[in-house]
């Protein structure tokens, strides 16, 4: 079964870099191999063939490019390697700047053209490094949850209740309402603190009757999210294992603070309590309430409770 | 209405509170006629159970008359006289369907905190802290009873309040303690604790065919009840060494099964042992004083059963695992699955096989609840069980 992580959710994964790290890697590879295999023509092309130092410096630059290529193509820490390319570019520009001052005529023109080309590459590298970093940070902000509960009802009953999205606010504490626009699309409203409301549209992108439902928010929401619920028959005739995977990215700023409050400091606990209420509603028909917990399960109210203290030894 | 409220450690008051309301479709409201103070209420009184709040209504043993039912309650009607089991059970989860009502998977709205302490949450209990649901208790004029279609049973007129209210907790709990011993003819059963549960466990062991029943306690008046009503042999641990006495009485075998009806606030005849656990408990290094449990394990015959119905809350220090493992012992435990036992035990009372109300020593009006807690705590005036009449 595919994971919820495979659900395409562009906002969740951050901006896609115009130049992916692998393209930068290929560029480094080409430059590195070219410089090492043909140092003479490269020196002529760039206009530094008159310098004895070029014979030592060019292979070093080629080796550096190969190092960057290996790092970028390996796929590990792409942001770091992209910035290493920028550092290399800066070094090249410095060397070219010195070369430009000493030369004249056709050679000076060639060095100037090379400088221009390297400056262009530098711009592409800087842009790519920034984008790669942004994407990485966006992915790091995504919260992933996997929580399950066993419900003493058949997969078909559990599926049917969940598939009617308008039922969700009956057990998801922070949801005010879900309106089904049609069989796939729905409009969700979550209640936040101090009258804050978060709204979004969602669509069901995969629906396997009595087995699983996968949904994601539609583009344009402030809180991109995706989820999947699977209904797996529990062994030993014990009903259904309801397994939920969620992925969402709380936004930054005031909206982000509101979302964080809605989901509490322990989003896992919140979802676990939501699932417990799902079990209660399916098994008993209602959310269970007590005088001390008039709203049913609530993390916030649990956190407010003060424990009783034991009797001081002197008074026993 | 008037209700008995927990006001802090060693403090209860009868205060005015709002009347209970129907909150769920399967609720009933019961006007209480008789309610009782339980030994485990003393754990709340002493402040050993976490998550109590000032003003929480106490009490989990109660009975009375149904005055209102929710739309989903079809088995009860206003005017019915009922006794209410102390664990709140939904009847529909897989635990309830297997008869394990006290570990109902749905009835604790604060299951999250209980899970942090116990791994999984047990059922909610009336008037027994927010850890176990934050339900208002029944030492009051009225109580809301959730899942009224599952728990309460109607009580016929010929069974008195004093007999019937025993079905809320102590009688089924004692009975389950004896039932877990899997008693066979000729067997010797030892019971630690001659409080209400211990005495009813001893009486139940008799009902289930035990040949000899031995009751261990330190209060002579409680041991006298065991001798007079159950024909039990007794050991006062303030006077003799319990293990020596049990070995002598069973010619070195040890009892076939041992019932711990004491729980976390045990006492010990040996002052040094007592001081050791008391100090650890005070420092919160352990939450229990498990003298009865340790002794029951050491005393039990090899291959026997240790049945634990005394209430424990947290962690036990110096658990004799070596004895437990090397001598092939079996331990069976549990908060009582009361709903399983109310009807058959009511029938036993009706048939005259047992009158569990022999343990009642005091009857007083609800407004005297603070006095009831005090004399039960201090074991004054030969107190074994206090009933509050509303």
Count of C-beta atoms within a 10 Å radius of residue A21? 24
CB contact under 8 A, B47 and A285: no
Q: Which helix (H) or strand (E) holds B21?
A: none
CATH of domain B2-169+336-389: 3.90.180.10
Neighbouring-strand partners of residue A187: A179, A201
Distance CA A291, CA A278 (A): 21
**Cβ within 8 Å of residue B179, ≥6 positions away:** B204, B208
CATH of domain B173-333: 3.40.50.720
Residue A246 to chain B, least CA–CA distance (Å): 20
Mean pLDDT rounded to a whole number for chain A: 83
Q: Where are the domains of chain A?
A: 14-139, 142-288
ipTM comes to 0.88
Q: Where are the domains of chain B?
A: 2-169+336-389, 173-333
Q: Is A158 helix (H, G, I), strand (E, B) or coil?
A: helix
What is the DSSP track for B77-137?
-TT-EEEE-SEE--S-SHHHHTT-GGG-SSS-TTHHHHHHHHSS---EEBTSTGGGT-B--
**Cβ within 8 Å of residue B248, ≥6 positions away:** none
Backbone dihedral angles phi then psi of residue A147, each to the nearest 5 degrees:
-135, 145
Distance, CA of B210 to chain centre: 22
CB contact under 8 A, A308 and B278: no
- B208-212, B226-230, B317-321, B382-386: least confidently modelled range: B317-321
Q: Identify which of A216, A199, A198 has the alpha carbon closest to the alpha carbon of residue A207.
A: A216
pLDDT digits (tens, 9 = 90+) for A230-269: 999 999 989 999 999 998 887 766 667 667 666 665 778 8
Which residues in chain B have their CB less than 8 angstroms from residue A264's CB? none
Which residues in chain A have their CB less than 8 angstroms from residue B111's CB? 276, 297
A298 to chain B: nearest residue by CA?
B110
- A72-86, B49-63, B204-218: least confidently modelled range: A72-86
Q: Is A211 helix (H, G, I), strand (E, B) or coil?
A: coil
Enter the pTM of the model.
0.82
Among all chains, which residue has been given the structure tokens 């669509």?
A: A203
A274-284 mean pLDDT: 95
CB contact under 8 A, B94 and A297: no
Distance CA A308, CA A232 (A): 41
DSSP H stretches of helix in chain B: 39-45, 94-97, 111-118, 161-164, 170-179, 196-207, 220-230, 242-249, 271-282, 291-299, 321-326, 338-350, 369-378
- Do B173-333 and B2-169+336-389 have the same topology in CATH? no
A290 to chain B: nearest residue by CA?
B135
What is the DSSP track for A263-278?
H-S-HHHHHHHHHHHH
pLDDT digits (tens, 9 = 90+) for B372-390: 999 999 999 999 999 999 9
pLDDT tier for residue B61 given thresholds of 50, 70 and 90: very high
CATH class of residue range A142-288: alpha beta
Count of C-beta atoms within a 10 Å radius of residue A194? 6
Which residues in chain A have their CB less than 8 angstroms from residue B46's CB? 310-311
């Amino acid at each position: 079964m595919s994971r919820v992580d495979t659900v395409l959710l562009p906002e969740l994964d951050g901006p896609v870099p115009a130049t992916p790290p692998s393209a930068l890697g290929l560029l480094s590879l080409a430059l590195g191999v070219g410089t090492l295999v043909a140092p003479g023509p490269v020196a002529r092309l760039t206009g530094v063939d008159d310098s004895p130092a070029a014979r030592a410096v060019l292979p070093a630059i080629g080796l550096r490019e190969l190092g960057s290529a290996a790092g970028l193509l390996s796929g590990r820490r792409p942001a770091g390697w992209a910035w290493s390319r920028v550092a290399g570019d800066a070094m090249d520009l410095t060397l070219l700047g010195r070369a430009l001052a000493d030369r004249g005529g056709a050679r000076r023109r060639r060095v100037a053209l090379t400088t221009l080309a390297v400056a262009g590459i530098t711009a592409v590298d800087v842009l790519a490094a920034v984008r790669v970093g942004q994407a990485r940070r966006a992915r790091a902000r995504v919260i992933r949850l996997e929580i399950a509960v066993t419900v003493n009802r058949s997969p078909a009953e559990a599926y049917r209740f969940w598939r009617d999205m308008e039922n969700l606010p009956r057990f998801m504490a922070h949801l005010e309402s879900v309106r089904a626009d049609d069989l796939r699309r729905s409009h969700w409203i979550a209640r936040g603190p101090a009258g804050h409301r978060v709204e979004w549209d969602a669509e069901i992108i995969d629906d396997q009757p009595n087995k699983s439902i996968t949904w994601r928010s539609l583009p344009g929401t402030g809180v991109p999210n995706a989820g999947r619920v699977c209904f797996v028959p529990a062994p030993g005739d014990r009903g259904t294992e309801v397994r939920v995977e969620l992925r969402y990215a709380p936004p930054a700023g005031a909206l982000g603070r509101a979302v964080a409050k809605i989901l509490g400091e322990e989003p896992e606990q919140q979802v676990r309590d939501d699932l417990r209420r799902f079990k209660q509603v399916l098994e008993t028909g209602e959310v269970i309430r007590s005088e001390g917990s008039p709203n049913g399960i609530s993390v916030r109210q649990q956190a407010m409770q003060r424990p009783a203290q034991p009797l001081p030894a002197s008074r026993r | 209405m008037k209700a008995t409220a927990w006001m802090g450690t060693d403090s209860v008051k009868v205060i005015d509170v709002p009347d209970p309301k129907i909150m769920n479709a399967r609720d009933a409201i019961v006007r209480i006629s008789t309610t009782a103070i339980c030994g485990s209420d003393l754990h709340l009184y002493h402040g050993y159970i976490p998550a109590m709040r000032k003003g929480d209504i106490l009490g989990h043993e109660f009975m009375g008359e149904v005055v209102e039912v929710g739309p989903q309650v079809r088995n009860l009607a206003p005017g019915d006289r009922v006794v209410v089991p102390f664990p709140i059970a939904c009847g529909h989860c897989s635990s309830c369907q297997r008869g394990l009502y006290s570990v109902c998977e749905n009835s604790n709205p604060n299951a999250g905190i209980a899970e942090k302490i116990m791994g999984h949450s047990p059922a909610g209990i009336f008037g027994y802290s927010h850890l176990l649901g934050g339900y208002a208790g029944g030492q009051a004029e009225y109580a809301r009873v959730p899942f009224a279609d599952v728990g309460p049973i109607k009580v016929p007129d010929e069974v008195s309040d004093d007999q019937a209210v025993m079905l809320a907790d102590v009688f089924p709990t004692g009975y389950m303690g004896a039932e877990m011993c899997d008693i066979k003819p000729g067997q010797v059963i030892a019971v630690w604790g001659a409080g209400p549960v211990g005495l009813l466990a001893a009486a139940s062991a008799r009902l289930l065919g035990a040949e000899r029943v031995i009751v261990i306690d330190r209060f002579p008046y409680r041991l006298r009840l065991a001798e007079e009503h159950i024909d039990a042999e007794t050991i006062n641990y303030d006077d003799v060494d319990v293990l020596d006495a049990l070995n002598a009485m069973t010619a070195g075998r040890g009892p076939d099964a041992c019932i711990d009806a004491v729980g976390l606030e045990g006492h010990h005849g040996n002052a040094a042992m007592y001081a050791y656990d008391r100090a650890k408990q005070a420092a919160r290094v352990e939450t229990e004083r498990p003298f009865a449990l340790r002794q029951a394990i050491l005393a039990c015959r090899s291959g026997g059963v240790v049945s634990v119905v005394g209430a424990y809350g947290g962690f036990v220090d110096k658990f004799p695992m070596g004895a437990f493992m090397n001598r092939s012992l079996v331990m069976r435990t549990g908060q009582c699955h009361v709903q399983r036992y109310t009807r058959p035990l009511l029938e036993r009372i009706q048939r005259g096989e047992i009158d569990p109300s022999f343990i009642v020593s005091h009857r007083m009006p609800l407004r005297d609840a603070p006095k009831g807690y005090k004399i039960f705590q201090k074991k004054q005036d030969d107190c074994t069980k206090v009933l509050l009449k509303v």
